[in-house]
Amino acid sequence: MLDRLTGKPVHATIHFIACTGLAFGLPWSKIPLSLATALLLLNLLIAGDFKSYWQRWTTNSLLKWLLLYLFIEWCSLMWTSDFNYALHDLRVKLPLVIIPLVMVAFPFKNPKAVPALVCIFLGMLTLTSVINMGFYFQWWGNKQYADIRGLSLFGSHIRYALLVVMGIVFSVSWLVRKFPFRIIPLLLISWWLFYLYYSQVVAGYSAFLSVVVIGLLVLLRNIQNKTKRIVLLICFVVPSVFFVRNMVVILQPIPHKVTLEALPEKTINGNYYTRDIQTMRWENGYPIIAQICETEIEPAWNKVSSIDYQSGRDKKGNPLKLTLWRFLASKGLPKDSLGMSQLSQQEIAWIENGTASILFTKGGLKARLYSIQNQLENHDDPNGHSLLQRLFYWKAATAIISENWVFGVGAGDVEEAFQTYYTKTNSQLQPENRKRAHNQFLTSWVTSGIFGFCAFILLWLVQWRFAWKNRAIEWLCFIGICLSSFLSEDTIETQVGLTFVAFFFGLFAANTVVPAKKAAKDGTLTQI
């Protein structure tokens, strides 16, 4: 309509602006995501070229698979009882329909449009990641963060890690395609690898691993020489074996470094220690509830901290003195005035923030593995431990599926089904930790049964086949990132995760146009 009135491609411009809002908002804020989605839909309706829309929609097989999955899930509303929650779920999922529909209806005619969107995404991701690091390490500001999750100021640390991996993918693509200013992607890749390593987000590590494996598969496909293939495989497998071996070693229980019988009965000041053998736990090979002299440690702590020793809580909400005991134990120090004198100002700040072990202060993958190892070793209480909680979530999901495996419980009753299970089984999880599956595959099955689960799987298998056939490496990596995240998160049950999937799905589905035969002939990958 506006095009006819002005004689200019107004709607194409508005469409690009709305897509810019999505690329801009993903690393930053939910607000531009909502506004951009609304603008996409409004522009589509005002343009009113429904004949061409219908033609593009009906000829895009990927869009059909997406709509089939959503249709099956929304059909589950017929046997749901909580329509308020169902309507909420429907409203949350609308961008997964709107964004791909609009992007398929409005494929970019300007070949520079998609690279421009990618650059906008990379630029905003760079800015927000620098801000995150700056505040966390106090390059600016003086706020202390309770844990590494404070590294993500703009939303979920898990979703942000997926965006970082996607940024790495596009930066590598920049290098491979030999675009100008190649120093920029080199710097970006280095920065984001450091960011990803330090963030300790397991979902980010697994997403990056999936990208590496996909890259290896693509390289093997493109290398015709058998010897070179074997050399490449060896170069990948050997380091992988050593890496996995080191991970397994770290995850093993740490042997006790002292015996309780060998511990002294008194402090250097002559005061008696207390200990609790019945509930003894260990940290880094040292006993936690041992060598405790509260008459010494309480005044020593209160001299250096504003958080009261007896009644105070750290910034994670745990009793301060328990965090202090555990941290001192991790260093092999007694819980008395002598142990307190060995703590630096930085270590005191860590304890106040809720860091319970010196092992968790090292940062990176090793610190995360130590955290997992500690959870596995002390598995009596799952609360506050992400891995153990997920095991409870998956157990709950499989139990619900076993009773409703054909049709599921319905989109509106998912939350109620989980809460009912936790109550019925007297779950160890505290009420605030009783959550859904944290696995998108299980959530799909719980929601709409075997039919919804199969449709969801087929949606991604068809994408993979199409992307592989067209040598669309960026698309393949996107699929790998999504599938890896689905194993540990309900990615498309949140706005940022859902918009991430919808935006890039629509971008690839609408603008990947290189035919398979042409790609095989000239070796091109994809237009994106």
Mean pLDDT, rounded, for 262-286: 89
> Measured between alpha carbons, how far is 251 from 247 in angstroms, rounded to an integer?
6
Residue 103 has a CB neighbour count (10 Å cut-off) of 28
pLDDT at 527: 42
Given a cut of 90, whether residue 386 has pLDDT beyond it is no
Pairwise pLDDT comparison (201 vs 117), residue with the higher score: 117
pLDDT tens per residue across span 74-126? 888 888 888 787 788 788 889 999 999 999 998 888 888 999 999 999 999 99
pLDDT tens per residue across span 405-420? 999 998 888 989 999 9
Instruction: Please provide the size of the chain in residues.
Output: 528
> Measured between alpha carbons, how far is 498 from 491 in angstroms, rounded to an integer?
6
In the structure encoding, which two tokens stand for residue 76, read together? Answer: 């589950």
Mean pLDDT, rounded, for 317-335: 92
Taking all residues of the chain, what is their mean pLDDT, rounded to a whole number?
Answer: 87
pLDDT at 213: 93
Q: Are residues 239 and 212 in contact, defined by beta-carbon separation less than 8 angstroms?
A: no
Mean pLDDT, rounded, for 302-316: 91
Quote the radius of gyration of the chain (alpha carbons, Å): 27
Given a cut of 50, whether residue 528 has pLDDT beyond it is no
pLDDT at 155: 81
Residue 510 pLDDT grade (very low, low, confident, very high; cuts 50, 70, 90): confident
pLDDT at 241: 86
Mean pLDDT, rounded, for 183-205: 90
Which class for 269: exposed (0-12), middle (13-18), buried (19 or more C-beta within 10 A)?
exposed
Amino acid at 16: F
Measuring CA to CA, which residue among 236, 173, 169 is closest to residue 196? 169
pTM of the model: 0.86
pLDDT at 514: 39
Residue 518 pLDDT grade (very low, low, confident, very high; cuts 50, 70, 90): very low
Mean pLDDT, rounded, for 45-74: 91
pLDDT at 276: 84
pLDDT at 353: 85
> Measured between alpha carbons, how far is 157 from 286 in angstroms, rounded to an integer?
32
